[in-house]
Structure 1
Amino acid sequence: MTRTTVPPAVAVPEEPAPAGARSRRVRRLSGPDRLVLGLMVGVPTLIQAVLVWIPTLLSVGLSFTRWNGLELADIEPAGVDNYSYAVHDYPPFWPAIAHNVIWLVFLALVATPIGLLLAVLLDQKIRGTRLYQSIFFAPVMLSLVMVGIVWQLVYARNEGLLNNLLGTAGTPGATDWLGDSGVNLWAALVASTWRHAGYIMVLYLAGLKGIDPSLREAAAIDGANGRQTFFRVVFPAMRPINIVIVVITIIEALRAFDIVYVINKGTNGLELLSVLVIQNLTGEGQVIGVGSALAVILLVVSLVPIVYYLVRTFRRADR
């Protein structure tokens, strides 16, 4: 009788699942994960809605009404009368627009380049760079009210630091830096630059630290000098930082309030849209409708250039 030998079974390796199948496996969130995620998204959204969006919508609604701010029953529809009054019959309106434009141009052409220059200098790994960064960033940690108080001590006519350095303190020829409507706007802009430049410096320092060193090495190999490397390689590579800084500069220029309010409550050459809003919403003779209309105008003036710039920038990036 012949014995037949059966060969052992050969195990066939299973084919690995395709990458697409693995990527389709989505981890389901557990109950606690959903709760934490809901709190992390919901709480900031709720705070934003309560403190920003709901008051904004209420301001838009109140801008089309007449109201003394006391009884809700006294609210009357006014159509666009508040806007018409603000544009045509409210004397400080157009000076405030002009001052806000000057504020924006000054921050964009003077304060922001100073911050960029400081960032470039402090990025050279000079001795004591940490100390210099702290000194230049110190004004950013102060509130704008405190900045205004500090510069009041600098600009005071009789006891101020500036007039003492000029040797005119206590004399009839001393310049009234904050009381003279011909110079107080520029004095306030210098005070604002003191703070704004430090903020821009920190942002650009972060951008410079994130630049790939190989870009500079490649530019050096191609024979580019330091100035050419910065303007043709480094600065274009910081496009995300540049977008943030443009938006911040516009917002800072249009929401400027604290410094001029501390100096003279935004009068006598320091009229700004933000100050006019507060003057009409509070104090004696408050006009809620006009103040709300000015607030809406300020909102639109702030959003239009920012949205336009961001749309153009992102479209260019998509191309």
Structure 2
Amino acid sequence: MTVVEGAAAARATPPRGRRRKLRQLTVRDRVSLALMAGIPTLITVAFVWVPALASIVLSFSSWTGFGDFSTIQWVGTENYRNIFSIYPPFDPAIQHNLIWLAVFFCLPLPFGLFLAVQLDKQIRFSRVYQSVIFLPVVLSLALIGFMTELIFSPTQGLINNLTGHAEHHVVDWMGDPHLNIWAVLVMACWRQAGYVMVLYLAGLKSVDPSQKEAAALDGAGGFQVFRHVVWPALRPINIVVLVITVIESLRAFDIVYVINKGTNGLELLSVLVTGNIVGEASRIGFGSALASILLVISLVFIVPYLISMFRRDERE
């Protein structure tokens, strides 16, 4: 062994006391990591996955929720057959959820991206604009529902008074089943746009400014810089926004329930689940079947997101 190799080996091998200290820190780090990862995992399993799996199991049963588990009657796929054949609110609920999803993709998603791009230019009072636009996200959907009633009320609402329909030719925005879904979606999009804006702002902060400057020096315009530099860098955020948009559109409940309890044109799957499980005629098995269908629809969009994230981690 040469002198250089011996010196390198001596530097690579820490003293005995230092090795013991490193070993102690490693054990402490492992305990800390186990606690930080284990406790949220246990909470998620206990309050998310266990109820979800229990709901899937109960969807093959007929149970009112009263009495012990011995009163459960297993009916196989009868609940699912009844949902698709003799349950009238199911078809409009599916249609309204698909409309909700399509509108969320077409309006608040691109509008939130537009707002994020503009605010990322460090314009004057950008912090104030961010706060004002994000403020509706802090409000609960139930409060948004009450505001919807105030704005679209037939006689005292803001819209009819501004358009002159409050006295003559009153437009019943909330009572007309062909109009109320669109009135509610306007308010839901107003809230969702701020959420999307904040997500895209976080993604835009990770874009390397030197790449945008290099593209600008090469003669690329603003749109070309966004298309070839910014947009590819936003791919991880796009996936997150996609999943969140799907989840927000499927779990919409409060905003329609406070208006008319999700009836007369505002039927949604989440309202049907709640109405069957905690309603007057408690049908745990039937409501669990509806919840399982909602879970399957959610997984159709969430599973590709997880697969893409795992593949990206493997490549990195």
Q: Say yes or no: does 1:289 pair with 2:285.
A: yes
Distance 2:200 2:301 in 1: 22
Distance 2:312 2:237 in 1: 16
SS of alignment partner, residue 134 of structure 1: helix
- Post-superposition shift, 1:160? 0.9
Q: Say yes or no: does 1:84 pair with 2:81.
A: yes
- Post-superposition shift, 1:100? 0.7
- Post-superposition shift, 1:216? 0.8
Residue identity matched to 1:207: G
- Post-superposition shift, 1:178? 1.2
- Post-superposition shift, 1:32? 5.5
TM (norm. structure 2) is: 0.90
Residue identity matched to 1:61: V
Residue identity matched to 1:63: S
Alignment of 1:24-43 (within 5 A): 27-29=22-24, 33=29, 35-43=31-39
Distance 1:268 1:119 in 2: 36
Tell me which residue corresponds to 2:256: 260
Distance 1:247 1:257 in 2: 18
Distance 2:291 2:104 in 1: 22
Residue identity matched to 1:239: R
Distance 1:238 1:296 in 2: 32
Q: CA RMSD in A?
A: 2.4
Size of the aligned set, in residue pairs, is 306
Alignment of 1:13-32 (within 5 A): 14-17=6-9, 27-29=22-24
Distance 1:47 1:134 in 2: 32
Of 85-94 and 36-45, more deviation after overlay is shown by 36-45
Distance 1:224 1:37 in 2: 46
TM (norm. structure 1) is: 0.89
Summarize the Cα distance change of 1:36–1:159 in structure 2 as closer, same or farther, 3 Å threshold. same
SS of alignment partner, residue 165 of structure 2: coil
Q: Say yes or no: does 1:131 pair with 2:123.
A: no
Identity of matched residues, %: 55
Summarize the Cα distance change of 1:315–1:38 in structure 2 as closer, same or farther, 3 Å threshold. closer
Summarize the Cα distance change of 1:305–1:12 in structure 2 as closer, same or farther, 3 Å threshold. closer
- Post-superposition shift, 1:269? 0.8
The answer to which structure has the higher helix fraction is 2
Tell me which residue corresponds to 1:8: none
Alignment of 1:24-103 (within 5 A): 27-29=22-24, 33=29, 35-72=31-68, 73-103=70-100
- Which of 224, 234, 244 aligns to 2:240? It is 244
**Where in structure 1 are there 5+ consecutive unaligned residues?**
1-10
Distance 1:68 1:264 in 2: 25
Tell me which residue corresponds to 1:111: 108
Summarize the Cα distance change of 1:80–1:221 in structure 2 as closer, same or farther, 3 Å threshold. same
Summarize the Cα distance change of 1:20–1:257 in structure 2 as closer, same or farther, 3 Å threshold. farther
SS of alignment partner, residue 247 of structure 1: helix
- Post-superposition shift, 1:308? 2.6
**Where in structure 2 are there 5+ consecutive unaligned residues?**
none
